[in-house]
């Protein structure tokens, strides 16, 4: 689901709230933030976030209510709220209502210009994954979206969205027992090329070799979205490691976590931290704050001492992404088209 801020600057109050927590926000915390900031443009985003968390906990009726509140607020999160509502209706066994909401969304999408390929793809995944799976409907949504992507101008992210649709098309066709066609074969060939590239990166660029003493955990240190610009200014030499913007940084961290996972690490831990906490650590330890090795030791220390605040990677596919984007993991850093 999309999660861009409607605020004029790059960091909204809700982004700041998530960053200051330094861990995954609970549903109750997201709901409280929405109550405390009732006039903020990110209230629908907070309500959708809370709805995801309630859904993950099995409280689907509560999730549905939160998503409907988000829909009532309108704004740029409207489509995301609609998809979430459809998902909860199907999960609750309210199939007729789910079909009605599904068909209403489809009519709106088909009439909208430019086509929202992201939401089409969300629905393809939803329809193929719900308890009462609808692979034939999912395939029809997918084909319709691909046809529009071919015929219309779809924006700068169109190539990524089209690739995601092609991947999901291949999955759905397999669900239906259909023989692979030319598009499916092209998707498989590209996946093979990507796999070979990743294996090459593992050989050439693995950040830390595994210990001969036995299995280890992989630890990935992540600065909060709010602190990232300050981290870049403090350590300008990290341009290659971090990138110039947060989206590039998040993509690099995702690849680091993948390398740990495929290289044999027992678990991969994502450690989210702030510069203030790092400064407190080096003041106490007496280590050189500018030494990259200090940051490595700090990440291991924090993963060990604050395990309850450490995210085990990868997170749930339908849960919020670890990068604070406000999107589902499977549609953000875990998007097959990006991996």
Question: In a 3-state reduction of DSSP, which class is residue 65?
Answer: helix
The pTM for the full model equals 0.65
Q: Which residues pair with 273 in a beta bridge?
A: 223
For residues 164 and 228, give the distance between their C-alpha atoms in angstroms, rounded to a whole number: 29
* pLDDT single digits (tens) 302-335: 998 988 888 888 887 777 788 887 777 877 888 7
> Longest C-alpha distance within the chain, in Å?
64
Domain residue ranges of the chain, discontinuous segments joined by +: 1-111, 112-205, 207-338
- Cis preceding linkage at 314, omega within 30: yes
For residues 201 and 191, give the distance between their C-alpha atoms in angstroms, rounded to a whole number: 15
Name which of 228, 22, 222, 1 is nearest 121 in CA terms.
1
- Range 69-75 contact pairs with CB under 8 angstroms and sequence separation of 24 or more: 70/43, 70/44, 70/45, 71/44, 73/43, 73/44, 73/47, 74/44, 75/6, 75/41, 75/44
9: left (phi over 0), alpha (psi -120 to 50) or beta: beta
- Range 261-266 contact pairs with CB under 8 angstroms and sequence separation of 24 or more: 261/218, 261/313, 261/314, 262/198, 262/202, 263/202, 263/206, 263/210, 263/218, 264/210, 264/215, 265/210, 265/215, 265/216, 265/217, 265/218, 266/215, 266/216, 266/217
Question: In a 3-state reduction of DSSP, which class is residue 311?
Answer: strand
For residues 41 and 78, give the distance between their C-alpha atoms in angstroms, rounded to a whole number: 12
Report the pLDDT value the prediction gives residue 147, as an integer from 0 to 100: 94
Q: Which residues of the chain have pLDDT under 70?
A: 1-10, 22-23, 154-156, 190-216, 336-339
Report the pLDDT value the prediction gives residue 246, as an integer from 0 to 100: 87
Report the pLDDT value the prediction gives residue 112, as an integer from 0 to 100: 92
Name which of 280, 326, 234 is nearest 19 in CA terms.
326
Report the pLDDT value the prediction gives residue 339, as an integer from 0 to 100: 54
Pick the CATH number of 1-111 from 2.60.40.10, 3.40.50.2000, 1.25.40.10, 3.40.50.300: 1.25.40.10
For residues 234 and 246, give the distance between their C-alpha atoms in angstroms, rounded to a whole number: 15
Name which of 327, 303, 306 is nearest 315 in CA terms.
327
CB 175 within 8 A of CB 135: yes
């Amino acid at each position: 689901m999309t999660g861009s801020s409607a605020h004029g600057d790059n960091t909204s109050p809700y982004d700041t709230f998530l960053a200051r927590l330094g861990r995954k926000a609970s549903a109750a915390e997201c709901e409280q933030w929405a109550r405390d900031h009732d006039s903020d443009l990110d209230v629908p985003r907070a309500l959708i976030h809370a709805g995801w968390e309630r859904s993950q906990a099995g409280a689907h009726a509560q999730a549905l209510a939160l998503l409907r509140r988000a829909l009532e607020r309108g704004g740029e999160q409207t489509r995301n709220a609609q998809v979430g509502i459809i998902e909860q209706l199907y999960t609750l066994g309210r199939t007729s209502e789910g079909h009605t909401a599904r068909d209403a969304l489809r009519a709106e999408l088909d009439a909208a210009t430019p086509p929202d390929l992201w939401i089409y793809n969300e629905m393809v995944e939803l329809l193929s994954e719900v308890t009462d799976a609808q692979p034939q409907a999912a395939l029809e949504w997918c084909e319709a979206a691909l046809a529009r992507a071919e015929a219309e101008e779809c924006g700068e992210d169109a190539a990524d969205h089209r690739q995601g649709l092609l991947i999901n098309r291949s999955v759905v066709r397999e669900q239906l027992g259909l023989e692979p066609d030319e598009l499916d074969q092209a998707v498989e060939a590209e996946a093979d090329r990507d796999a070979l590239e990743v294996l090459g990166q593992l050989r050439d660029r693995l950040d830390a070799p595994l210990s001969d003493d036995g299995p280890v955990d992989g630890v990935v240190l992540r600065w909060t979205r709010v602190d990232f610009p300050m981290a870049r200014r403090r350590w300008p030499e990290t341009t290659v490691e971090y990138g110039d913007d947060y989206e590039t940084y998040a993509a690099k961290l995702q690849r680091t976590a993948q390398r740990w996972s495929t290289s044999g690490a027992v678990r991969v831990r994502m450690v989210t931290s702030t510069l203030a906490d790092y400064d407190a650590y080096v003041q106490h330890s007496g280590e050189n704050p500018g030494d990259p090795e200090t940051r490595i030791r700090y990440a291991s220390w924090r993963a060990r001492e604050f395990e309850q605040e450490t995210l085990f990677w990868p997170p749930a596919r339908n849960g919020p992404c670890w990068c604070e984007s406000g999107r589902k993991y499977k549609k953000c850093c875990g998007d097959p088209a990006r991996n």
